Amino acid sequence: MAVSQAQGGAIIDVAEFIDRQPVGGFQIRLLLTCATVLFLDGFDTQAIGYVAPALAKEWGLTKAALGPVFSAGLFGLMIGALVFGPLADRIGRKKIIMFSTLAFGIGTLATAFVSDVNTLLAIRFLTGLGLGGAMPNAVAMTSEFSPHRRRATMVMVMFCGFSIGAALGGLLAAALIPQFGWRSVFLVGGVAPLLLVPILPLRLPESVRFLALTGQAHARVAGLLEQVDPKAAFAPATQFMVHEPRLTGMPVLHLFREGRTLPTLLLWVVFFMSLLDLYFLSNWLPTVLNDLGASVSSAALIGSMLQVGGVVGTFALGSVIDRFSFRALALVYFVAVFAVGAIGQLGHSTALVTAAIFAAGFCIVGGQIAANALAATFYPTAVRSTGVGWALGIGRIGSIVGPLVGGALLTAKWSTGSVFLAAASAALCAALAAFSLSRLAGMSGGQGAAHPSSIDATLRAATTST
Protein backbone atom coordinates (compact mmCIF):
# COMPACT_ATOMS: atom_id res chain seq x y z
CA MET A 1 0.00 0.00 0.00
CA ALA A 2 1.32 3.44 -0.89
CA VAL A 3 1.49 5.30 2.42
CA SER A 4 3.40 8.54 2.90
CA GLN A 5 3.72 10.78 5.90
CA ALA A 6 2.37 14.29 6.13
CA GLN A 7 2.36 16.70 9.01
CA GLY A 8 -0.23 15.30 11.42
CA GLY A 9 -0.67 11.83 9.92
CA ALA A 10 -0.28 9.36 7.06
CA ILE A 11 -1.47 9.92 3.49
CA ILE A 12 -3.23 6.97 1.81
CA ASP A 13 -3.48 6.55 -1.96
CA VAL A 14 -7.15 5.57 -2.35
CA ALA A 15 -6.80 4.10 -5.85
CA GLU A 16 -3.86 1.90 -4.86
CA PHE A 17 -5.62 0.81 -1.68
CA ILE A 18 -8.65 -0.38 -3.67
CA ASP A 19 -6.48 -1.99 -6.35
CA ARG A 20 -4.76 -4.16 -3.71
CA GLN A 21 -8.02 -5.52 -2.33
CA PRO A 22 -9.96 -8.53 -3.55
CA VAL A 23 -13.54 -7.97 -4.64
CA GLY A 24 -15.44 -8.24 -1.35
CA GLY A 25 -18.93 -8.10 0.05
CA PHE A 26 -19.09 -4.30 0.08
CA GLN A 27 -18.32 -4.03 -3.65
CA ILE A 28 -20.73 -6.83 -4.48
CA ARG A 29 -23.54 -5.13 -2.55
CA LEU A 30 -22.77 -1.86 -4.33
CA LEU A 31 -22.74 -3.64 -7.67
CA LEU A 32 -26.14 -5.21 -6.94
CA THR A 33 -27.61 -1.85 -5.90
CA CYS A 34 -26.41 -0.14 -9.09
CA ALA A 35 -27.52 -3.17 -11.12
CA THR A 36 -31.01 -2.85 -9.61
CA VAL A 37 -31.19 0.79 -10.71
CA LEU A 38 -30.13 -0.20 -14.23
CA PHE A 39 -32.51 -3.19 -14.19
CA LEU A 40 -35.41 -0.77 -13.78
CA ASP A 41 -33.76 1.66 -16.22
CA GLY A 42 -33.59 -1.09 -18.85
CA PHE A 43 -37.16 -2.20 -18.24
CA ASP A 44 -38.52 1.33 -18.60
CA THR A 45 -36.32 2.21 -21.58
CA GLN A 46 -37.37 -0.82 -23.65
CA ALA A 47 -41.01 -1.00 -22.57
CA ILE A 48 -42.18 1.32 -25.34
CA GLY A 49 -40.76 -1.00 -28.01
CA TYR A 50 -42.57 -4.04 -26.62
CA VAL A 51 -45.95 -2.32 -26.32
CA ALA A 52 -45.66 -0.53 -29.68
CA PRO A 53 -47.69 -3.04 -31.77
CA ALA A 54 -50.58 -3.01 -29.26
CA LEU A 55 -50.43 0.77 -28.81
CA ALA A 56 -50.36 1.36 -32.58
CA LYS A 57 -53.37 -0.91 -33.06
CA GLU A 58 -55.40 0.81 -30.30
CA TRP A 59 -54.60 4.33 -31.51
CA GLY A 60 -54.52 3.57 -35.23
CA LEU A 61 -50.92 4.71 -35.67
CA THR A 62 -48.73 3.99 -38.68
CA LYS A 63 -45.14 2.76 -38.50
CA ALA A 64 -43.94 6.24 -39.43
CA ALA A 65 -45.82 7.70 -36.45
CA LEU A 66 -44.12 5.23 -34.07
CA GLY A 67 -40.63 6.50 -34.96
CA PRO A 68 -41.00 9.85 -33.13
CA VAL A 69 -42.57 8.05 -30.14
CA PHE A 70 -39.47 5.86 -29.85
CA SER A 71 -37.10 8.75 -30.42
CA ALA A 72 -38.71 11.15 -27.90
CA GLY A 73 -37.60 9.04 -24.95
CA LEU A 74 -34.18 8.48 -26.49
CA PHE A 75 -33.77 12.24 -27.00
CA GLY A 76 -34.47 12.67 -23.30
CA LEU A 77 -31.90 9.95 -22.57
CA MET A 78 -29.33 11.87 -24.60
CA ILE A 79 -29.97 15.17 -22.79
CA GLY A 80 -30.00 13.41 -19.42
CA ALA A 81 -26.61 11.79 -20.07
CA LEU A 82 -25.05 15.03 -21.36
CA VAL A 83 -26.34 17.12 -18.43
CA PHE A 84 -26.26 14.79 -15.44
CA GLY A 85 -22.81 13.31 -16.17
CA PRO A 86 -20.97 16.63 -15.73
CA LEU A 87 -23.30 17.63 -12.87
CA ALA A 88 -22.37 14.46 -10.97
CA ASP A 89 -18.69 15.32 -11.35
CA ARG A 90 -19.55 18.54 -9.46
CA ILE A 91 -21.97 17.36 -6.74
CA GLY A 92 -21.46 13.60 -6.54
CA ARG A 93 -22.75 10.37 -8.08
CA LYS A 94 -25.16 9.36 -5.29
CA LYS A 95 -27.46 12.39 -5.47
CA ILE A 96 -27.82 12.13 -9.24
CA ILE A 97 -28.59 8.40 -9.17
CA MET A 98 -31.31 8.93 -6.55
CA PHE A 99 -32.87 11.89 -8.39
CA SER A 100 -32.73 10.10 -11.74
CA THR A 101 -34.44 7.00 -10.36
CA LEU A 102 -37.23 9.13 -8.90
CA ALA A 103 -37.64 11.01 -12.19
CA PHE A 104 -37.90 7.99 -14.47
CA GLY A 105 -40.22 6.22 -12.02
CA ILE A 106 -42.67 9.13 -12.06
CA GLY A 107 -42.39 9.46 -15.84
CA THR A 108 -43.00 5.79 -16.55
CA LEU A 109 -46.00 5.72 -14.23
CA ALA A 110 -47.42 8.79 -15.99
CA THR A 111 -47.03 7.04 -19.37
CA ALA A 112 -49.72 4.56 -18.32
CA PHE A 113 -52.31 7.36 -18.25
CA VAL A 114 -51.65 9.17 -21.54
CA SER A 115 -54.38 9.24 -24.18
CA ASP A 116 -52.83 10.97 -27.21
CA VAL A 117 -49.58 10.98 -29.15
CA ASN A 118 -48.46 14.52 -28.25
CA THR A 119 -48.75 13.86 -24.51
CA LEU A 120 -46.96 10.54 -24.97
CA LEU A 121 -44.08 12.29 -26.75
CA ALA A 122 -43.71 14.82 -23.91
CA ILE A 123 -43.88 12.23 -21.14
CA ARG A 124 -41.39 9.91 -22.86
CA PHE A 125 -38.94 12.81 -23.26
CA LEU A 126 -39.18 13.73 -19.56
CA THR A 127 -38.85 10.08 -18.56
CA GLY A 128 -35.76 9.84 -20.73
CA LEU A 129 -34.05 12.61 -18.75
CA GLY A 130 -34.08 10.42 -15.65
CA LEU A 131 -33.16 7.26 -17.55
CA GLY A 132 -30.18 9.03 -19.12
CA GLY A 133 -28.92 10.44 -15.82
CA ALA A 134 -28.86 7.13 -13.94
CA MET A 135 -26.75 5.13 -16.37
CA PRO A 136 -23.37 6.98 -16.56
CA ASN A 137 -23.31 7.51 -12.81
CA ALA A 138 -24.00 3.87 -12.00
CA VAL A 139 -21.12 2.99 -14.34
CA ALA A 140 -18.79 5.56 -12.73
CA MET A 141 -19.76 4.52 -9.19
CA THR A 142 -19.09 0.82 -9.82
CA SER A 143 -15.83 1.57 -11.61
CA GLU A 144 -14.49 3.75 -8.79
CA PHE A 145 -14.94 1.07 -6.13
CA SER A 146 -13.49 -1.75 -8.27
CA PRO A 147 -9.84 -2.89 -8.35
CA HIS A 148 -8.17 -2.14 -11.65
CA ARG A 149 -7.65 -5.78 -12.63
CA ARG A 150 -11.41 -6.50 -12.35
CA ARG A 151 -12.84 -3.10 -13.26
CA ALA A 152 -14.23 -3.91 -16.72
CA THR A 153 -15.69 -7.18 -15.46
CA MET A 154 -17.37 -5.47 -12.50
CA VAL A 155 -18.87 -2.72 -14.65
CA MET A 156 -20.08 -5.20 -17.26
CA VAL A 157 -21.67 -7.51 -14.68
CA MET A 158 -23.36 -4.51 -13.06
CA PHE A 159 -24.61 -3.33 -16.43
CA CYS A 160 -26.22 -6.72 -16.99
CA GLY A 161 -28.98 -5.30 -14.82
CA PHE A 162 -29.99 -3.11 -17.78
CA SER A 163 -30.09 -6.04 -20.20
CA ILE A 164 -31.97 -8.28 -17.77
CA GLY A 165 -34.50 -5.52 -17.15
CA ALA A 166 -34.92 -4.94 -20.88
CA ALA A 167 -35.35 -8.67 -21.54
CA LEU A 168 -37.83 -9.03 -18.68
CA GLY A 169 -39.77 -6.17 -20.24
CA GLY A 170 -40.41 -8.39 -23.25
CA LEU A 171 -41.36 -11.41 -21.17
CA LEU A 172 -43.64 -9.34 -18.94
CA ALA A 173 -45.20 -7.54 -21.89
CA ALA A 174 -45.98 -10.89 -23.50
CA ALA A 175 -47.80 -11.96 -20.31
CA LEU A 176 -49.50 -8.67 -19.37
CA ILE A 177 -50.68 -7.19 -22.65
CA PRO A 178 -53.17 -9.95 -23.60
CA GLN A 179 -54.71 -9.88 -20.10
CA PHE A 180 -54.48 -6.25 -18.95
CA GLY A 181 -53.52 -4.15 -21.97
CA TRP A 182 -50.35 -2.23 -22.78
CA ARG A 183 -50.81 0.34 -19.99
CA SER A 184 -50.19 -2.34 -17.36
CA VAL A 185 -46.55 -2.61 -18.49
CA PHE A 186 -45.95 1.05 -17.59
CA LEU A 187 -47.77 0.71 -14.27
CA VAL A 188 -45.34 -2.01 -13.21
CA GLY A 189 -42.39 -0.09 -14.66
CA GLY A 190 -43.33 3.08 -12.79
CA VAL A 191 -44.18 1.70 -9.36
CA ALA A 192 -40.99 -0.38 -9.01
CA PRO A 193 -38.49 2.56 -9.19
CA LEU A 194 -40.60 4.60 -6.77
CA LEU A 195 -40.39 1.75 -4.26
CA LEU A 196 -36.60 1.64 -4.71
CA VAL A 197 -35.99 5.37 -4.14
CA PRO A 198 -36.34 5.30 -0.30
CA ILE A 199 -33.91 2.38 -0.15
CA LEU A 200 -31.13 4.03 -2.16
CA PRO A 201 -29.93 6.45 0.58
CA LEU A 202 -29.37 3.44 2.84
CA ARG A 203 -27.65 1.19 0.28
CA LEU A 204 -25.74 3.60 -1.95
CA PRO A 205 -22.48 5.24 -0.80
CA GLU A 206 -20.89 8.25 -2.40
CA SER A 207 -17.95 7.48 -4.70
CA VAL A 208 -14.83 7.10 -2.54
CA ARG A 209 -12.59 8.51 -5.27
CA PHE A 210 -14.87 11.50 -5.76
CA LEU A 211 -14.73 12.21 -2.02
CA ALA A 212 -10.97 11.80 -1.87
CA LEU A 213 -10.52 14.17 -4.79
CA THR A 214 -12.34 16.92 -2.89
CA GLY A 215 -9.75 16.64 -0.11
CA GLN A 216 -12.36 17.60 2.49
CA ALA A 217 -14.04 14.34 3.52
CA HIS A 218 -11.28 12.24 5.09
CA ALA A 219 -13.54 10.71 7.76
CA ARG A 220 -16.10 9.59 5.15
CA VAL A 221 -13.35 8.16 2.95
CA ALA A 222 -11.87 6.27 5.91
CA GLY A 223 -15.27 4.77 6.72
CA LEU A 224 -15.80 3.62 3.14
CA LEU A 225 -12.32 2.09 2.83
CA GLU A 226 -12.87 0.24 6.11
CA GLN A 227 -15.97 -1.27 4.51
CA VAL A 228 -13.93 -2.26 1.44
CA ASP A 229 -11.37 -3.90 3.76
CA PRO A 230 -12.90 -4.66 7.19
CA LYS A 231 -9.41 -5.38 8.57
CA ALA A 232 -8.20 -1.84 7.84
CA ALA A 233 -8.10 0.82 10.56
CA PHE A 234 -7.06 4.42 10.02
CA ALA A 235 -5.89 6.95 12.57
CA PRO A 236 -8.05 10.10 12.89
CA ALA A 237 -5.32 12.25 11.34
CA THR A 238 -4.99 10.06 8.22
CA GLN A 239 -5.47 11.88 4.92
CA PHE A 240 -6.62 10.34 1.66
CA MET A 241 -5.82 11.31 -1.90
CA VAL A 242 -5.85 10.14 -5.50
CA HIS A 243 -2.98 10.81 -7.90
CA GLU A 244 -5.17 12.78 -10.26
CA PRO A 245 -5.51 16.54 -10.65
CA ARG A 246 -8.60 18.45 -9.58
CA LEU A 247 -9.57 19.72 -13.00
CA THR A 248 -11.07 23.19 -13.20
CA GLY A 249 -13.31 24.83 -15.77
CA MET A 250 -15.85 23.07 -17.97
CA PRO A 251 -15.51 19.28 -17.48
CA VAL A 252 -16.34 18.58 -21.14
CA LEU A 253 -13.26 20.48 -22.34
CA HIS A 254 -11.02 18.08 -20.44
CA LEU A 255 -12.22 15.24 -22.67
CA PHE A 256 -10.08 16.85 -25.39
CA ARG A 257 -6.96 17.65 -23.40
CA GLU A 258 -3.77 15.74 -22.54
CA GLY A 259 -3.97 13.54 -25.62
CA ARG A 260 -7.58 12.47 -25.13
CA THR A 261 -9.03 14.06 -28.29
CA LEU A 262 -8.62 11.23 -30.81
CA PRO A 263 -9.62 8.38 -28.48
CA THR A 264 -12.60 10.42 -27.27
CA LEU A 265 -13.81 10.92 -30.85
CA LEU A 266 -13.30 7.23 -31.69
CA LEU A 267 -15.18 6.24 -28.54
CA TRP A 268 -18.02 8.46 -29.67
CA VAL A 269 -18.11 6.70 -33.05
CA VAL A 270 -18.29 3.33 -31.28
CA PHE A 271 -21.11 4.51 -29.01
CA PHE A 272 -23.02 6.25 -31.82
CA MET A 273 -22.99 3.27 -34.18
CA SER A 274 -23.49 0.67 -31.47
CA LEU A 275 -26.50 2.40 -29.91
CA LEU A 276 -27.94 3.20 -33.35
CA ASP A 277 -27.90 -0.53 -34.07
CA LEU A 278 -29.13 -1.53 -30.62
CA TYR A 279 -32.18 0.74 -30.64
CA PHE A 280 -32.90 0.08 -34.30
CA LEU A 281 -33.19 -3.60 -33.35
CA SER A 282 -34.84 -3.31 -29.95
CA ASN A 283 -37.56 -0.92 -31.11
CA TRP A 284 -38.41 -2.42 -34.49
CA LEU A 285 -37.88 -6.17 -33.99
CA PRO A 286 -41.29 -6.79 -32.35
CA THR A 287 -43.08 -4.81 -35.06
CA VAL A 288 -41.20 -6.47 -37.95
CA LEU A 289 -41.78 -9.93 -36.46
CA ASN A 290 -45.46 -9.10 -36.02
CA ASP A 291 -45.63 -8.10 -39.70
CA LEU A 292 -44.04 -11.44 -40.63
CA GLY A 293 -46.87 -13.29 -38.93
CA ALA A 294 -45.92 -13.61 -35.25
CA SER A 295 -48.54 -12.63 -32.68
CA VAL A 296 -47.91 -9.56 -30.51
CA SER A 297 -46.97 -11.81 -27.56
CA SER A 298 -44.72 -14.04 -29.67
CA ALA A 299 -43.03 -11.03 -31.29
CA ALA A 300 -42.29 -9.52 -27.86
CA LEU A 301 -40.97 -12.88 -26.63
CA ILE A 302 -38.72 -13.48 -29.63
CA GLY A 303 -37.56 -9.86 -29.61
CA SER A 304 -36.52 -10.20 -25.97
CA MET A 305 -33.83 -12.67 -27.10
CA LEU A 306 -31.80 -9.62 -28.12
CA GLN A 307 -31.39 -8.69 -24.46
CA VAL A 308 -31.07 -12.31 -23.29
CA GLY A 309 -28.16 -12.68 -25.71
CA GLY A 310 -26.76 -9.46 -24.31
CA VAL A 311 -26.79 -10.81 -20.76
CA VAL A 312 -25.00 -13.99 -21.83
CA GLY A 313 -22.54 -11.95 -23.88
CA THR A 314 -21.76 -9.65 -21.00
CA PHE A 315 -20.90 -12.47 -18.62
CA ALA A 316 -18.90 -14.24 -21.32
CA LEU A 317 -16.95 -11.17 -22.41
CA GLY A 318 -16.07 -9.55 -19.05
CA SER A 319 -12.71 -11.21 -18.39
CA VAL A 320 -11.84 -11.11 -22.12
CA ILE A 321 -12.35 -7.33 -22.21
CA ASP A 322 -10.27 -6.91 -19.02
CA ARG A 323 -7.44 -8.74 -20.77
CA PHE A 324 -7.64 -7.68 -24.42
CA SER A 325 -9.53 -4.35 -24.26
CA PHE A 326 -10.40 -2.83 -27.66
CA ARG A 327 -8.98 -5.73 -29.67
CA ALA A 328 -11.69 -7.99 -28.26
CA LEU A 329 -14.33 -5.27 -28.70
CA ALA A 330 -13.47 -4.89 -32.39
CA LEU A 331 -13.80 -8.64 -32.96
CA VAL A 332 -17.18 -8.72 -31.19
CA TYR A 333 -18.56 -5.98 -33.45
CA PHE A 334 -17.20 -7.71 -36.57
CA VAL A 335 -19.14 -10.85 -35.62
CA ALA A 336 -22.21 -8.65 -35.03
CA VAL A 337 -22.15 -7.62 -38.70
CA PHE A 338 -23.01 -11.17 -39.75
CA ALA A 339 -25.48 -11.82 -36.91
CA VAL A 340 -27.51 -8.66 -37.61
CA GLY A 341 -27.47 -9.25 -41.36
CA ALA A 342 -28.71 -12.82 -40.83
CA ILE A 343 -31.86 -11.66 -39.02
CA GLY A 344 -33.27 -10.25 -42.25
CA GLN A 345 -32.56 -13.44 -44.17
CA LEU A 346 -34.13 -15.82 -41.62
CA GLY A 347 -37.29 -13.95 -40.61
CA HIS A 348 -39.71 -16.69 -41.70
CA SER A 349 -38.08 -19.40 -39.57
CA THR A 350 -38.87 -18.89 -35.89
CA ALA A 351 -36.00 -21.05 -34.63
CA LEU A 352 -33.35 -19.57 -36.91
CA VAL A 353 -34.38 -15.93 -36.44
CA THR A 354 -34.46 -16.45 -32.67
CA ALA A 355 -30.88 -17.78 -32.84
CA ALA A 356 -29.79 -14.86 -35.02
CA ILE A 357 -31.40 -12.32 -32.65
CA PHE A 358 -29.71 -14.00 -29.69
CA ALA A 359 -26.32 -13.81 -31.47
CA ALA A 360 -26.91 -10.16 -32.40
CA GLY A 361 -27.71 -9.39 -28.76
CA PHE A 362 -24.59 -11.26 -27.61
CA CYS A 363 -22.45 -9.02 -29.81
CA ILE A 364 -24.28 -5.67 -29.95
CA VAL A 365 -25.55 -5.50 -26.35
CA GLY A 366 -22.45 -7.25 -24.96
CA GLY A 367 -20.23 -4.98 -27.04
CA GLN A 368 -22.02 -1.83 -25.90
CA ILE A 369 -21.69 -2.82 -22.24
CA ALA A 370 -17.99 -3.53 -22.81
CA ALA A 371 -17.64 -0.07 -24.39
CA ASN A 372 -19.26 1.47 -21.27
CA ALA A 373 -16.71 -0.29 -19.08
CA LEU A 374 -13.76 0.77 -21.24
CA ALA A 375 -14.95 4.39 -21.27
CA ALA A 376 -15.14 4.37 -17.46
CA THR A 377 -11.56 3.11 -17.19
CA PHE A 378 -10.21 5.69 -19.64
CA TYR A 379 -11.17 8.98 -17.98
CA PRO A 380 -9.79 10.34 -14.67
CA THR A 381 -12.06 10.64 -11.61
CA ALA A 382 -12.65 14.37 -12.03
CA VAL A 383 -14.34 13.85 -15.42
CA ARG A 384 -15.31 10.17 -15.33
CA SER A 385 -19.06 10.75 -15.21
CA THR A 386 -18.64 13.47 -17.82
CA GLY A 387 -16.67 11.15 -20.11
CA VAL A 388 -19.09 8.25 -19.78
CA GLY A 389 -22.11 10.57 -19.88
CA TRP A 390 -20.99 12.33 -23.05
CA ALA A 391 -20.07 9.06 -24.76
CA LEU A 392 -23.54 7.78 -23.92
CA GLY A 393 -25.06 11.12 -24.89
CA ILE A 394 -23.42 11.06 -28.32
CA GLY A 395 -24.44 7.42 -28.55
CA ARG A 396 -28.02 8.46 -27.78
CA ILE A 397 -28.00 10.54 -30.94
CA GLY A 398 -27.44 7.24 -32.69
CA SER A 399 -30.23 5.68 -30.65
CA ILE A 400 -32.56 8.46 -31.84
CA VAL A 401 -31.48 8.07 -35.46
CA GLY A 402 -31.83 4.27 -35.38
CA PRO A 403 -35.62 4.07 -34.85
CA LEU A 404 -36.20 6.93 -37.30
CA VAL A 405 -34.10 5.23 -39.97
CA GLY A 406 -35.91 1.95 -39.33
CA GLY A 407 -39.28 3.65 -39.70
CA ALA A 408 -38.19 5.43 -42.89
CA LEU A 409 -36.87 2.21 -44.47
CA LEU A 410 -40.00 0.24 -43.60
CA THR A 411 -42.26 3.05 -44.83
CA ALA A 412 -40.25 3.10 -48.09
CA LYS A 413 -41.09 -0.61 -48.49
CA TRP A 414 -37.52 -1.86 -48.21
CA SER A 415 -37.37 -5.64 -47.95
CA THR A 416 -36.71 -7.15 -44.54
CA GLY A 417 -33.34 -8.42 -45.74
CA SER A 418 -32.26 -4.98 -46.96
CA VAL A 419 -33.38 -3.30 -43.73
CA PHE A 420 -31.18 -5.56 -41.61
CA LEU A 421 -28.23 -5.28 -43.98
CA ALA A 422 -28.45 -1.53 -43.37
CA ALA A 423 -28.39 -2.23 -39.65
CA ALA A 424 -25.35 -4.49 -40.11
CA SER A 425 -23.44 -1.61 -41.69
CA ALA A 426 -23.65 0.31 -38.40
CA ALA A 427 -22.04 -2.63 -36.58
CA LEU A 428 -19.25 -2.57 -39.17
CA CYS A 429 -18.57 1.12 -38.44
CA ALA A 430 -18.39 0.37 -34.69
CA ALA A 431 -15.98 -2.48 -35.39
CA LEU A 432 -13.67 -0.26 -37.43
CA ALA A 433 -13.64 2.46 -34.75
CA ALA A 434 -12.87 -0.10 -32.02
CA PHE A 435 -10.12 -1.56 -34.20
CA SER A 436 -8.62 1.94 -34.59
CA LEU A 437 -8.64 2.33 -30.80
CA SER A 438 -6.87 -1.02 -30.46
CA ARG A 439 -4.21 0.20 -32.89
CA LEU A 440 -3.71 3.35 -30.81
CA ALA A 441 -3.35 1.18 -27.74
CA GLY A 442 -0.79 -0.93 -29.58
CA MET A 443 1.34 2.20 -30.05
CA SER A 444 2.09 2.03 -26.31
CA GLY A 445 3.84 -1.32 -26.77
CA GLY A 446 1.73 -3.01 -24.09
CA GLN A 447 1.18 -6.73 -24.16
CA GLY A 448 -2.11 -8.46 -23.59
CA ALA A 449 -4.61 -5.84 -22.54
CA ALA A 450 -3.94 -2.46 -23.98
CA HIS A 451 -5.69 -0.31 -21.43
CA PRO A 452 -7.26 2.98 -22.60
CA SER A 453 -5.03 4.90 -20.22
CA SER A 454 -2.06 3.65 -22.23
CA ILE A 455 -3.59 5.36 -25.27
CA ASP A 456 -3.73 8.57 -23.27
CA ALA A 457 -0.10 8.26 -22.19
CA THR A 458 1.07 7.43 -25.72
CA LEU A 459 -0.67 10.40 -27.30
CA ARG A 460 0.52 12.79 -24.59
CA ALA A 461 4.09 11.59 -25.11
CA ALA A 462 3.74 12.05 -28.86
CA THR A 463 2.35 15.56 -28.35
CA THR A 464 5.20 16.46 -25.98
CA SER A 465 7.85 15.16 -28.40
CA THR A 466 6.54 17.36 -31.19
Between CA 232 and CA 228 the distance in angstroms is: 9
Quick one: pLDDT band at residue 135, thresholds 50, 70, 90? confident
Quick one: pLDDT band at residue 389, thresholds 50, 70, 90? confident
Residue 234 lies in a domain: no
CATH number at residue 50: 1.20.1250.20
- CB neighbourhood size of 5 (10 A): 8
Number of domains in the chain: 1
Amino acid at 82: L
pLDDT in tens, 84-96: 888 887 888 899 9
Instruction: Say if residue 44's pLDDT is above 60.
Output: yes
Residue 222 lies in a domain: no
Residue 384 lies in a domain: yes
Instruction: Say if residue 293's pLDDT is above 80.
Output: no
Residue 237 lies in a domain: no
Residue 362 lies in a domain: yes
**Highest mean pLDDT, choosing among 7-11, 254-258, 433-437:** 433-437
Residue 442's pLDDT is 63
Between CA 241 and CA 223 the distance in angstroms is: 14
Residue 224 lies in a domain: no
Instruction: Say if residue 98's pLDDT is above 90.
Output: yes
Between CA 416 and CA 426 the distance in angstroms is: 16
Residue 221 lies in a domain: no
Segment 111-137 mean pLDDT: 90
Range of the domain at 253: 8-213+243-459
Residue 223 lies in a domain: no
Between CA 378 and CA 291 the distance in angstroms is: 43
